[in-house]
């Protein structure tokens, strides 16, 4: 599977981006503009005092050695000159010259050819946003591939949801694909590789730099028919993905939150500007023209009226003790009710003894 497939020119382009990574980080100019430059122009534009050296190295580029490095890192390469390069990526003004794929290349091509939804959002997200991202991913799994960026917070929840439902998922990284970023996501990285693929524009052994995140966001947007933002503060990187998806003419969606929460800014903005209002996996599936409801998660019915009252009060955002009072329970009965709801998988305990609803 690790046979050299990508052409030398494309590989040289990928090498050049890595070579100029530190220079690109210093650029204040529009990244999309820079990425559209030819190799020579790019060296000229950002190479600065090292331009001559870089040009010499560029001329000496050894594609075989590059391929060997990829093979050693168990990374497959796929360049834009190849026929099976994902068609959706060609919609970009500047499609990545090479996609580096950690995981089975066949699986990635299969997932990339099918329909996908990107679920993105803030790294520091609320339990509410995380639960929603997880439930959305779980609900569309099997019909749609879930694409995200493996960052902590919403991205992680989205991948986890897809994995829980044994669906396909693609993580697009800014840094090299064979290394988890953030490093704490080791386990998630391993699981995504097993069930889907981790891809990146840049090759093996590249540490993360600031400019790489907006660059990879365009890949997330391009790989997906729809991009849903679960939570994003004003100025969040997730909104760049939304902008990219809008530029590509793809569908947009936002999961509403509390109007007072800064995290709701992004989703509410998307909905106001004509994006879909996403309340459940069905909303995503309907927007993409799938009919029939998402396979309902098998869950127990709540028969006990007091349990139901506690659940409803928690769903309305009350703290547990107020929910007990609403259901007419004392602490003893209320705590037991919480345990029963938790056992049924309807609520999840958060730090500080707060409970969030599992959608």
Partner 1 sequence: MLARVTTFAIDGVQPFQVWVEVDIRSGLPAFTVVGLGDTAVRESRDRIRAAILNSGFKFPEGRITANLAPAFMRKAGPGFDAALALALLAASGQVPAHALAGCAVFGELSLGGELRDSPGALAVAEGAHRSGCARLIVPRTRAHEAALVEDLRIVAVASLRAAADVLAGGATPSLPGAPPAHGANGDAPDLSDVRGHEAPLLALEIAAAGGHNLLLEGAPGTGKTMLARRLPTILPPLSRAEAIEVTRIHSVAGVHAGGLISARPFRAPHHTISPAGLAGGGSPPRPGEATLAHGGVLFLDELSEFQRSSLDALRQPLEDGSVTIVRGQQSLCFPTSFMLVAATNPCPCGFAGVDDRCTCADADLRRHRRRLSGPLLDRMDLLVDVHRPTNDELSTSARSSSAAVLARVTEARERQRSRLMERGASCNGEMDTRAVGALVRLDDAAEHELARAYQHGRLSARGRHRVLRVARTIADLARRDRVARADLLLALSLRQRSGAELMEAV
The residue (of 135 and 284) whose beta carbon lies closer to partner 1 is: 135
Q: Is the separation of the CB atoms in 61 and 9 below 8 Å?
A: no
CB of 307 to partner 1, least distance (A): 11
Q: Which of 150, 229, 228, 152 is nearest to 196 (CA)?
A: 150
Nearer residue to partner 1 within complex by CB, 4 or 182 = 182
User: Least distance from C-beta 198 to partner 1, angstroms?
Assistant: 21
Residue by residue, DSSP assigns 164-199 as: HTT--EEEEESS-TTS-SSGGGHHHHHHHHHHSEEE
- Min dist CB 341 to partner 1, Å, is 10
CB of 21 to partner 1, least distance (A): 24
Nearer Cβ to partner 1, position 145 or 264? Answer: 264
Angle at 24 between CA 155 and CA 170, to 5 degrees: 25
Instruction: Say how far apart CA 27 and CA 30 lie, in whole Å.
Output: 8
Number of other residues whose CB lies within 10 A of the CB of residue 243 = 16
If one counts every other C-beta atom within 10 angstroms of the C-beta of residue 2, the result is: 15
Residue 205: CB minimum distance to partner 1, A:
25
Backbone phi and psi for residue 134, each to the nearest 5 degrees, phi listed first: -65, -45
Q: How far is the CB of 68 from partner 1 (least distance, A)?
A: 36
Per CB under 8 A, residues contacting partner 1 are 123-124, 126-128, 152, 184, 257-258, 261-263, 319-321, 330-340, 342-343, 345, 348-354, 356
Residue nearer to partner 1 on the CB measure, 91 or 342: 342
Which element (helix H / strand E) includes 254?
A: strand 251-254
Residue 57 CB, nearest approach to partner 1 (Å): 37
**Helix (H) / strand (E) containing 109:** helix 105-113
CA dist 224 and 267 (Å) reads 17
Q: What are 1's two structure tokens?
A: 């599977």
Tell me whether residue 96 or residue 257 sits nearer to partner 1 (CB atom). 257
Which CB sits closer to partner 1, 4 or 262? 262
Given the complex with partner 1, which of 273 and 354 has the nearer CB atom? Answer: 354
């Amino acid at each position: 599977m690790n046979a050299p497939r990508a052409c030398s020119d494309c590989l040289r382009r990928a090498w050049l981006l890595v070579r100029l990574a530190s220079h690109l980080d210093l650029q204040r100019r529009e990244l999309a503009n820079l990425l559209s430059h030819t190799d020579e122009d790019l060296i000229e534009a950002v190479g600065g005092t090292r331009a001559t050296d870089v040009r010499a190295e560029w001329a000496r580029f050894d594609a075989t050695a590059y391929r060997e490095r990829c093979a050693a890192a168990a990374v497959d390469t796929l360049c834009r000159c190849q026929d099976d390069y994902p068609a959706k990526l060609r919609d970009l003004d500047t499609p990545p010259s090479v996609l580096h794929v950690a995981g089975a290349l066949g699986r990635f091509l299969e997932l990339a050819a099918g329909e996908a939804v990107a679920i993105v959002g803030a790294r520091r997200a609320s339990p509410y946003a995380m639960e929603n991202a997880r439930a959305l991913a779980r609900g569309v799994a099997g019909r749609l591939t879930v694409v995200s960026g493996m960052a902590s917070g919403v991205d992680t929840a989205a991948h986890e949801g897809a994995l829980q439902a044994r669906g396909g998922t693609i993580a697009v990284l800014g840094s090299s694909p064979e290394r988890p970023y953030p490093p704490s996501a080791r386990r998630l990285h391993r699981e995504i590789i097993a069930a889907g693929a981790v891809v990146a524009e840049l090759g093996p052994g590249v540490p993360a730099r600031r400019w790489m995140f907006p660059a990879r966001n365009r890949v997330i947007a391009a790989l997906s028919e729809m991009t849903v933002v679960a939570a994003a503060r004003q100025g969040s990187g997730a909104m760049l993905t939304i902008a990219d998806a809008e530029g590509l003419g793809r569908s947009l969606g936002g999961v509403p939150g509390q109007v007072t929460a800064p995290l709701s800014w992004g989703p509410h903005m998307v909905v106001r500007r004509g994006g879909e209002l996403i309340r459940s996996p069905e909303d995503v599936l309907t927007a993409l023209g799938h009919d029939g409801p998402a396979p309902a998660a098998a869950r127990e019915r709540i028969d006990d009226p007091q349990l139901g009252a506690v659940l409803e009060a928690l769903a309305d955002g009350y703290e547990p003790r107020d929910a007990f009072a609403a259901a007419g329970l004392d602490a003893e009965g209320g705590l037991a009710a919480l345990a029963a709801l938790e056992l049924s998988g309807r609520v999840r305990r958060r730090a500080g003894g707060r409970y969030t609803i599992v959608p």
